[in-house]
Chains A and B, each alone.
Chain A
Amino acid sequence: MRPAVALAGLVVALVASAMLGVLAGAVAVDPRDVLAALIGRADAPTAAIILELRLPRVIAAALVGGALGVAGALLQGLLRNPLADPYVTGTSAGAALGSVAAVAAGGPALLTPLAAFVGALGSVAVIWRLARIGGRTTVLTVLLAGIVISSFAGAGVTLLIVASDRLSLRLRAVLDVLVGGVTSRGSAELVVAAAIVAIATVLALALARRLDAYAFGEETAATLGVDTEDTTRSVLVVTALLTGAAVALAGLVSFVGLVIPHALRPLVGARHVVLVPACLLGGATALVLADLGARIALAPAELPVGVITGLVGAPFFLLVLARSARSGA
């Protein structure tokens, strides 16, 4: 019963943070007018501001945070590594390289999530290969591989910027990709991202049982009758789907995938069938709030949301690192 209560609490938190997100913005809108806009009774400019600019931004933030939260839970379960998340493993960087390449090539906007997925899949596959060298995955190998992949992808992004007029004239926009920023998106992009996140979450739930078996090591999982080869491949693809969707929408948002599963495990337990939906809701709530902070911290200027998640997430990462070093992982 307790997980159900926790999940219900997370739903309430998400709804509350979304309401806050819609209330705050670049121009002041009376809360009553916000309500009027939401039920379709506001004047045209107010309706456009609330329904076409603010609400899509809140939805984008929720999708990105939810996707990263679930991806973090999957990676931590698969690698049995408390420090794994899409950002530190370089999965996000691979996705960013893919999405910047898509923009540089001048492809349609809807191609970006696909290119980001391909980039994420490439990175996560390399991580997996490297992490298995010597038969066991250590915290250190995963982190080092993540650093290497991130620098490689970063160099690739820089190369594209210098080589492409399209990008060099739009340095600011590319910077937003690299630091991570949520913006108002068109409904087509949001629908595509929402569909990817929904499908990936369902797949993650389907993998939950098998991932639980990984907690005791891959070999133990195999003796429990889990097809580890197939499971691993599925988890990597689902992680890449989620990371690609998140990066295509908001660039490199750091540490959400790391912090959220950690914060929620004490609350809902380690069983993935509960942890995955909890991370979806918790990640969504966290990023909606982080984006709200990014909008109001230095108003009227906006911070990229990655600045907020980095400032909060990096110290958290160090705490977990210190703890896992003490426990001798």
Chain B
Amino acid sequence: MRHVLVALALLLSAACGSAPASIPVPTPSASPSPTVVTDFQGRSVQLPRSVERIVSIGASNTEFLFALGAGERVVGVDDFSDEPPAALKKEKVGGVKVNLEKVTSLRPDLIVTIKFSDGTIERLAAVGAVVLVVDPQGLGDVARSATLIGQAVGADGQKLADDITRRLQAVKERAATITAKPRVFHEVDATDPAKPFTVGPGSFVHDLIELAGGVNVAARAASPYPQLSAEELVRSDPEVIVLADADYGVTPEQVAARPGWSGIAAVRTKRVYGMSANLVSRPGPRVGEAAEAYAKLLHPAVFR
């Protein structure tokens, strides 16, 4: 089946390739030709020439829009968009489920959204706005997100992307000189402390841990946000535990009181730290800041 698809794709591209002679090439003029970009869902998106009303779905997308100076033009955000503070004042368009009526009533000309697999993207497209899917997962996707959203709103996304890359690179170079890399457990959610959720390869936090000079104890997990059994956790004996669920009231004292956790190295040596989910759970423009914060926790003597 896959071969057939590949063959079909080749045929199509060949057909397109042989065509240019018959297609009139537009001459560059005052009004630039519409830009077509490929978004994170592989869709070809023709960007609007000017964007006045933006709906942003996804906390990282909202942060990018504000960082690119397009905050004024954002008319609606999803319930999870809480940064920067100005985003809190925008109209809300829903959380886990997007409220399509609300989105429609805001008359957006651009909707920047994370991925949905339940048909939300198609329904958003039917609203009449241009829909751009931006859903960074790994650290490498962050710069591309900045560039893409910059293109869409007519801002210098490349500069923001370069800034982010430079900051990450600085942390990486300093951490590379450190030979003693602590084993790290990053807790996303431990409502059931016997099976806490953590980060695995493919998630940007996993990339952050490795970049900041740590070794993720879930490095061999099969998915970006796996569940680790407490048995495996005790066996892997992390030297640092980072609580990304600290905002929900999880404290180092609670961690120490969980059945089986008291003997873990990080608990014994009191290297259990809360970290704001707002900073470390979204691959947005502040990811450089997150890398620096992480590096400080792992190597307080080197990163001050």
Query: Which residues of A are interface residues toward B (Cβ below 8 A)?
Result: 25-27, 44-45, 47-49, 52-54, 56-57, 166, 168-170, 172-173, 176, 181, 183-187, 300, 302
Contacts and interface: CB of A to CB of B under 8 A. Distances in A.
Contact of A184 (B197, B232, B260): B260
Contact of B232 (A26, A56, A168, A169): A26
A45 B191 contact: no
B197 to A, nearest CB: 8
A183 B229 CA distance: 10
B23 interface: no
B237 interface: yes
B101 interface: no
Given A45-B263, A169-B189, A187-B259, 17 more contacts: A25-B229, A26-B232, A27-B232, A47-B263, A48-B260, A48-B263, A49-B231, A49-B234, A49-B260, A172-B189, A172-B197, A173-B191, A173-B192, A183-B194, A183-B195, A184-B259, A185-B259
Contact of B194 (A44, A47, A169, A184): A184
Interface string B236-264: 01000000000010000000011111110
Contacts of B96: 168
Interface of B: 95-96, 189, 191-195, 197, 229-232, 234-235, 237, 248, 257-263
Pairs A-B, 9 closest by C-beta atoms: A26-B229, A52-B260, A173-B191, A26-B231, A184-B194, A183-B194, A53-B260, A52-B259, A48-B260
A168 B197 CA distance: 15
B171 to A, nearest CB: 29
B249 to A, nearest CB: 8
B67 to A, nearest CB: 25
Contact of B263 (A44, A54, A183): A44
B233 to A, nearest CB: 9
A183 B192 contact: yes
Contacts of A57: 194
B192 A45 contact: no
A56 B258 CA distance: 12
Given A25-B231, A168-B95, A53 B259 contact: yes
Contacts of B235: 27, 45, 49
Nearest to B189: A170
* Residue of B189, B192, B261 most packed against chain A (CB within 10 A): B192
Nearest to B191: A173
A53 B189 contact: no
B191 A170 contact: yes
Given A168-B95, A187-B259, A54 B231 contact: yes
9 contacts: A27-B231, A48-B234, A53-B230, A53-B231, A53-B259, A168-B96, A170-B191, A172-B189, A302-B195
Contacts of A52: 259-260
Contacts of A47: 263
A186 B195 contact: no
B98 to A, nearest CB: 15
A53 B234 contact: yes
B194 A53 contact: yes
A172 B259 contact: no
Contacts of A56: 259
Contacts of A181: 192
Contact of B259 (A25, A168, A176, A186): A186
Nearest to B222: A300
A166 B249 CA distance: 11
A73 to B, nearest CB: 30
B229 A300 contact: yes
Contacts of B263: 44-45, 47-48
Contacts of A49: 231, 234-235, 260
Contacts of B261: 48
Given A26-B229, A186-B258, A169 B234 contact: no
Contacts of A45: 234-235, 237, 263
* Residue of A25, A26, A57, A183 most packed against chain B (CB within 10 A): A26
A158 B95 CA distance: 16
A169 B237 CA distance: 27
A26 B257 CA distance: 21
Nearest to B268: A44
B236 to A, nearest CB: 9
B65 to A, nearest CB: 24
A302 B194 CA distance: 11
Nearest to A176: B192
A26 B231 CA distance: 6
A187 B259 CA distance: 8
A172 B263 CA distance: 27
A73 B249 CA distance: 41
Contacts of A184: 193-194, 230, 259-260
A31 to B, nearest CB: 16
A44 to B, nearest CB: 5
B259 A169 contact: no
* Residue of B95, B96, B234 most packed against chain A (CB within 10 A): B234
Contacts of B234: 45, 48-49, 53
B59 to A, nearest CB: 13
* Residue of B189, B231, B232, B237 most packed against chain A (CB within 10 A): B231
B78 to A, nearest CB: 13
Nearest to A45: B234
Nearest to A184: B194
A247 to B, nearest CB: 15
B246 to A, nearest CB: 14
Contacts of B262: 48
A92 B258 CA distance: 27
